[in-house]
Amino acid sequence: MRSIRRRGRVAEKVPAADPRVALEGLLPEIPRDRIGEVWSRLRACTHPRFYAAQLSAEELAPYGGRLDLDSTVAHYLAHGARAGKRPSVIFHPQTYADRLAERGLRLPDGAVPFLHWLSVGWDARIVPTPLFDEAWYRKKHPQIVRAWGFAQYVDRGLYEPQWRPSPLGRHHAGMSVPNAAQEHAPLLLPEMLHRAADHDLTRTSWLEEGCLRALETCATLRSPRVQDLIAKAAAIEPLIEEGVESGLAVTCPPYRAPRLFMAEQAEALRRRVGMTHVDTVVVVPDLTAATIAGVAGQLAAALREAEPAASVLLAAADTAAETEADASRGAATSAVPGLPPGIDVLDLGPFAVGFDEERRVDLLLDLVRGLTARRIVTAGSRVGWRLLAAYGRQLSTAASLGACLEPPERTEQGNLVGFAVKEFQEAFADLDWALVTTAELAADLINRYLLSGSLRQRLVTAYAEDGTSDADGSARQIEAAAVKRIVADGERREEQQRG
Amino acid sequence: MDERAPCDVTAIITAHNEGPLIGLSLRSLLDAVDFARQSGLEVEIIAVLDNPDDSTRVAMADAAEHGCRVVEVAYGDHGLARNEAIRLSAGRYLAFLDGDDLWSENWVVDAFGVCETDPGRVIAHPAINWIFDNGSYCYFLPDQTDPAYDPAFLRVANSWDQLCMAPVEVHRAHPYHRRELDRGFAYLDWTWNLETIEAGLMHRTVPETLHFKRRRATSQFTQARANRSLPFPSAMHDYAWWAAHEG
């Protein structure tokens, strides 16, 4: 069920009054000596970014647009509770009402459902969300010693990737996020906030709706007919029922599946891009001024000049974004200072919120295939290198592949950073060319890899002299011979495909 | 195509090195075929053994006694072996079973019923894939008519495996590819799904039917995944296709 998110109009900051007093006022029936306990639970279950997503820009303005835990709790108790806002990703009002009803209980008139759960439902160990399955959690994580697994999930499971809460999945990509617990930012937040504009977040979300539909689908497993069919098959092959007692994981597209969120984002990206073809995609780590001024931007400009009729897109693949709300900055646009006209840029970060590197690579793969790019270049992007290392074989059947190589640098900690050595080793066989920014690096590669004559020819020198900028800091132009060579490789590749 | 009497369904089991496990699969297939015949369907049974090892050949030595026509081929390729089975089939609909998997008893008759709701245009899949051995899980297959299902999902992940029932003319119009692992192209089922959706066919699920699929460490899926394979290029990977089919 979908409805448009409603936004309040309250814009004043929360009064400085003690929020605990406000909590007492909202829970008149609770003995005063229990308020401290409910207060602790409230704080443990509050998730500022989820709550903030239910507020308008005007409501957030007094907080500088961002709530922390204290201000979220205070705002909720002062305004949100009575307005029906949800401060917690693990409280789904309808699920709570349904599970109360299963026990013959109902919400008292005038009660705030979330606070009722904190003060009453918690003690009855009612799980108020379709995202979590207590029996499953205990089977899959027998090391949990707390009597109620859900309480452990609230404290730790929401923030650490190893805790799978449900047969329906983890509800996130499985990646650790620094400071998630300190910031009360659950790993499932990107999926909770997906398509936020399509859902009334005070009641439900894309993730919860998917879980509810998946649970309905799973219920068919319990039908007498299906049970009979399973029993008949197991009579032939007993292994069919082996392991079932420890819990069956479930994949249920289009409601819940490991790559469902990624597929949604890939499609959102396609719609946002708005183009159906780009001749050259240059994959860069970001769209900072340094990147634009560096070899990637220079190459894009040179290709644009050499092939005026051919389109060029700079795609930033390594950037991070907190929410899909940032997706407007992901749009393809030409308005980037330092780039000549006719070169589009795209930031994949807002479409990769919560993605691990594998999913980022797959998102980029979908983009370059979708745009039927005839030339794909990685220039300093970790994800770009991974793309060529993983899928260079396949991409090279339809596109000319290239890479920009800059000398690795040693960090203060002594680590070597720069182009990805392992990925270079995996991808080099599929590259038509590698644009090398210094003669020293070219010599080093030739020497260490004992490059044969034909492999040596793949190294293209970018500049007559070393470095991407002149002594005065201005950007250099890539040598005409290098550009000519890259263009020729592309033409040769197209000729081969036509043949 | 062989000159054989036309029938409603050809039930096809394919095998390579399953050994005695193929007996379990054949047992399950025979049960589903008996069930379908009791409902009035005419069903033929073909087993295609592709470069079978001795234990698989021995396991199938008496299959003819159960009404199963056994054919040996030497492709070393699942797609080509299936294409051979398609060539030999006399059924209006073809249903494939891998040589170590099992059907639920109602699969053939119920899938036939769903296919017949729009003859020639529907590809039927079980409602549930029950994965067993080396870890259990359930995969509820999507129905393309579900408004929540977006075929764009197929750009990044597969939705249906190959153990479907489909009209013979669909199989003949869309034969399987030969796997090209060295070039990084595999996932014959995924590729086939992309091609059939592009062609306007409809993938439906059959309520209360199951396929019991054995998870093997050496499965084609596992090999393809380890090899970072992709499905063969398809128009559906191209943004232009989506732009042309939007709205």
Angle at B41 between CA B39 and CA B47, to 5 degrees: 120
- CA nearest A344: which of A435, A266, A282, A402? A282
A230 vs B210: CB contact, 8 Å cut-off?
yes
Predicted local confidence at residue B30, as pLDDT? 98
CA B99 to chain centre: 11
Chain A residue whose CA is closest to B213: A240
Residues sharing a CB contact under 8 Å with residue A34, sequence separation 6 or more, in sequence order: A119
Residue B160 has pLDDT above 60, yes or no: yes
B212 vs A393: CB contact, 8 Å cut-off?
no
- Taking a contact as any Cβ pair under 8 Å apart, which residues of chain B between 157 and 176 contact chain A? 157, 159
A226 vs B128: CB contact, 8 Å cut-off?
yes
Q: Which CATH architecture has domain B7-245?
A: Alpha-Beta Complex (3.90)
How far apart are the C-alpha atoms of A498 and B128, rounded to whole Å? Answer: 43
Inform me whether the C-beta atom of residue A1 falls under 8 Å from chain B C-beta atoms.
no
Comparing CB atoms, the residue among A223, A258, A276 nearest residue B243 is: A276
Inform me whether the C-beta atom of residue B20 falls under 8 Å from chain A C-beta atoms.
no
A394 vs B184: CB contact, 8 Å cut-off?
yes
Distances from the Cα of B19 to the Cαs of A185, B15, B47, B70, B205, in angstroms? Answer: 52, 9, 14, 15, 31
Q: How far is A114 from chain B (nearest CA, A)?
A: 30
Residues sharing a CB contact under 8 Å with residue A368, sequence separation 6 or more, in sequence order: A281, A376, A387, A395, A399
How far apart are the C-alpha atoms of A354 and A175, rounded to whole Å? Answer: 7
B128 vs A254: CB contact, 8 Å cut-off?
no
Q: Which residues from B are below 8 Å from A241, CB to CB?
A: 132
How far apart are the C-alpha atoms of A362 and A278, rounded to whole Å? Answer: 18
Dihedral sign for Cα atoms in the order A432, A434, A439, A445 = negative
* Residues written for chain B: 247
- Taking a contact as any Cβ pair under 8 Å apart, which residues of chain A between 378 and 417 contact chain B? 390-391, 393-394, 397-398
Predicted local confidence at residue A416, as pLDDT? 61
Residues sharing a CB contact under 8 Å with residue A448, sequence separation 6 or more, in sequence order: none
Residues sharing a CB contact under 8 Å with residue B95, sequence separation 6 or more, in sequence order: B9, B10, B11, B12, B107, B108, B111, B163, B164, B165
Predicted local confidence at residue B3, as pLDDT? 62
Q: Tell me which residues of chain A have a pLDDT lower than 50.
A: 1-10
- Cβ contact B202:B124 at 8 Å: no
Dihedral sign for Cα atoms in the order A432, A436, A440, A445 = negative
Comparing CB atoms, the residue among B135, B159, B208 nearest residue A243 is: B135
Mean pLDDT for B147-160 is: 96
pLDDT cut 90: percent of chain A above it? 74
Write out pLDDT tens, residues B40-54.
Answer: 999 999 999 999 999
B157 vs A259: CB contact, 8 Å cut-off?
yes
Helix, strand, coil percent content, chain B, rounded in steps of 5: 35, 30, 35
- Cβ contact A401:A431 at 8 Å: yes
CA B72 to chain centre: 19
Predicted local confidence at residue A195, as pLDDT? 92
Inform me whether the C-beta atom of residue A366 falls under 8 Å from chain B C-beta atoms.
yes
Res. B136 pLDDT band, cuts 50 70 90: confident
Residue B5 has pLDDT above 90, yes or no: no
Q: How far is A458 from chain B (nearest CA, A)?
A: 21
Q: Does A254 sit behind a cis peptide bond, omega within 30 degrees of 0 on the bond before it?
A: yes
Q: How far is B183 from chain A (nearest CA, A)?
A: 6
Any idea where the domains of chain B sit in the sequence? Answer: 7-245
Comparing CB atoms, the residue among A239, A262, A275 nearest residue B133 is: A239
A253 vs B159: CB contact, 8 Å cut-off?
yes
- Cβ contact A206:A191 at 8 Å: yes
Residue B118 has pLDDT above 90, yes or no: yes
Comparing CB atoms, the residue among B148, B184, B239 nearest residue A255 is: B148
Residue B223 has pLDDT above 90, yes or no: no
Mean pLDDT for B103-118 is: 98
Q: Which residues from B are below 8 Å from A218, CB to CB?
A: 138, 140
Task: List the A400-405 sheet strands across, edge first.
Answer: A343-347, A312-316, A280-284, A375-379, A400-405, A433-436, A459-461
Token pair 């090195």: residue: B17
Q: Which residues from B are below 8 Å from A236, CB to CB?
A: 24, 27-28, 31, 102
